[in-house]
Amino acid sequence: MKVIKNPPAADWAALCQRPTASFEDILPNIRNIFQTVQQEGDRALQAYTLQFDQVKIDQIKVTEQKISEAAVQLSEDLKQAISIAYQNIRTFHEAQRTETVDVETQTGVRCWQEKYPIEKVGLYIPGGTAPLFSTVLMLAIPAQVAGCREIVLCSPPQNNGQIAPEVLYTAALCGVTKIFMVGGAQAIAAMSLGTASVPKVDKIFGPGNQYVTAAKQYASQGRVAIDMPAGPSEVLIAVDASADPSFVAADLLSQAEHGVDSQVLLVTTAAAAIPAIEKALTQQLAALKRKDIAAVALENSSIICFDSHQTAIAFINTYAPEHYIINVENTAEYVAGVRHAGSVFVGPFTPESAGDYASGTNHTLPTNGFARQYSGVNLDSFQKAITFQEITPEGIQNLGPAVEAMAQAEGLDAHKNAVSVRLKSLS
């Protein structure tokens, strides 16, 4: 990791750049994939799976038998862990239910809002270098709580030509209605356009690599809604002299092992602590199964040192991290300073891994600085709000003149007349 000390504000934008290709660079490939899937349907999905995943598949939809068989392939310990995570995540998302908003804005004018589930949702579950069955929990549970009628899941096959049993088991537990063995941008195209096997959905959820993210953005241009741009994972850790170097190194590596395009950033006000953290990084990296992946991610990452906490906090908000770990003595100051982040982990004993798996919060979060504009996935992500209004005769008499005046000022005579004819009928 590169060490940068007290960078001026003029350099912050460059330091906040993620190691990803631009949407414009990827767009031609994405457009071609969508066109091919639209024209050739399932045949295109099979061809792309062979091309990108080096797996030949005869049947895209996963059978009920395969889903049932997955349960016996998992240990009881893992099933128990998944059960604990399921309950915590469900508890947190059920708590996000809101009461119906119902108010009389003035005498005789009643307005209310009701929330309804999005009927058909598509969940994308990455499965390349690691089968992310935890993401099934994060996406399918709120869809289940919201009451979505159809929950479609797409995930790429492993080298053995099957979806990981952990993914299948968790999907069944969470009420997923259909599972398809297809990944990458072609999976997003399939859920966006529909094929003979894969149904078209109303909204697509889930993280993925640069191509999946670009495909979701392309799909959102008039085809379906998406949760957010959610690409390669990232973490920013704020530390001071109080932080345990082994904790810091473990948190950096837990994100770096996701993929070579992951980014980890350490922001510190304690330059003297950097050598101990670097030593712990080296020791822990050597013991990782995915050390080659993590090592490449670390090469694209930095340690940035500031003299003051205030400047550090300002930089962190400029970066707008997906995951933000606050491992400092005065956590209150950093928590109060949060303006842009996907999910925040407060204190030395709150690793990002807890949120990734089982604390209850959702781990599907905005990356690449989009935490400035987007929230992470939550219960509202799977719902739409519809507003209603009802006006009594007294209400239209009270409100009508104001509407008439505004419509006349905008030159919309028919709008004015829709009120005027009603007022005339009451006079």
Q: At what angle do helices 291-299 and 274-286 cross, to 10 degrees?
A: 150
CATH code of the domain in which 419 resides: 1.20.5.1300
Averaged pLDDT, 314-327: 98
Q: Does a structural domain hold residue 332?
A: yes
115 within domain boundaries: yes
Residue range of the domain that includes 30:
23-227
Q: What is the mean pLDDT of the chain?
A: 95
Residues 323, 340, 363, 404: which is the catalytic one?
323
Task: Kindly state whether residue 297 falls inside one of the protein's structural domains.
Answer: yes
Contact yes or no for 324/367 (Cβ under 8 A): no
- Please indicate whether residue 257 is annotated as part of the active site: no
Task: Give yes or no: residues 370 and 401 share one domain.
Answer: no
The reply to whether 39 and 150 lie within a common domain is yes
In this structure, are residues 142 and 377 in contact, taking their beta carbons and an 8 Å threshold? Answer: yes
34 lies in the same domain as 111: yes
- pLDDT tens digits along 390-406: 999 999 999 999 999 99
Residue 371 is given by DSSP the state G
Q: Is residue 14 part of a domain?
A: no
CA separation, residue 114 to residues 102, 144, 340, 380 (Å): 9, 18, 29, 12
Provide the token pair at 205. 């959820």
Q: Distance between CA 414 and CA 267 in Å, rounded?
A: 60
Domain identity same for 80 and 182 = yes
Q: Is residue 2 part of a domain?
A: no
Share of residues in the chain with pLDDT > 90 (%): 89
Give per-residue pLDDT as tens, 2-21. 999 999 999 999 999 887 66
The percent of residues above 70 in pLDDT, for the chain, comes to 99
Q: Is the pTM of this model over 0.85?
A: yes
pLDDT of 138-192, one tens digit each? 999 999 999 999 999 999 999 888 999 999 999 999 999 999 999 999 999 999 9
Q: Are residues 178 and 248 in the same domain?
A: no
Together in a domain, 83 and 222: yes
pLDDT at 22 over 80: no
pLDDT at residue number 222: 77
Look up residue 115 and give its two tokens: 């929330």
Q: What is the CATH number of the domain that holds 171?
A: 3.40.50.1980
Catalytic residue list contains 322:
yes
Residue 7 in any domain: the answer is no
Give the CA dihedral 132, 362, 147, 37, nearest 10 degrees. -40
Other CB atoms within a 10 A radius of the CB of residue 234 amount to: 29
pLDDT score recorded for residue 20: 67
- Locus of tokens 């947190």: 92
- Considering the domain boundaries, does residue 194 fall inside one? yes
Residue 172 falls inside a structural domain: yes
Cα–Cα distance measured from residue 368 to residue 371, given in angstroms and rounded to the nearest whole number: 8
Count of structural domains, the chain = 3
Span 117-132, mean pLDDT? 88
Catalytic annotation, pick one of 322, 329, 352, 363: 322
